[in-house]
Amino acid sequence: MDDNRQPDGIVLTEAQKRSRRQRSIAIALALVVLVALFFAVTMVKGPAVLVRPM
C-alpha cells in the first residue's frame, strides 16, 4: 500500500471550498426568493396569474 499516493481528481484549496460554499448559499437564497416571489404573485393575482395580456 502506497501511503504517498496522490488522491484522484481535482483537490480544491480551502479558499476554493469557501468560495464554492458561498456560491451554493447564494444560489439557494436566489431560489428561495424566486419561489417566494412566484408564490406571492400567485396569491395576489389568483387565477388571473395565468392571464398575461400584451
Smallest distance from other proteins to CB 10, Å: 17
**15 scored as a contact of other proteins (CB under 8 A):** no
- Does position 32 interact with other proteins (CB under 8 A)? The reply is no
Among 41, 46, 47, 48, binds other proteins (CB under 8 A): 41
DSSP states of 4-50: TPPPSS----HHHHHHHHHHHHHHHHHHHHHHHHHHHHHHHHGGGGG
Binding site for other proteins (CB under 8 A): 34, 37-38, 40-41, 43-45, 49, 52-54
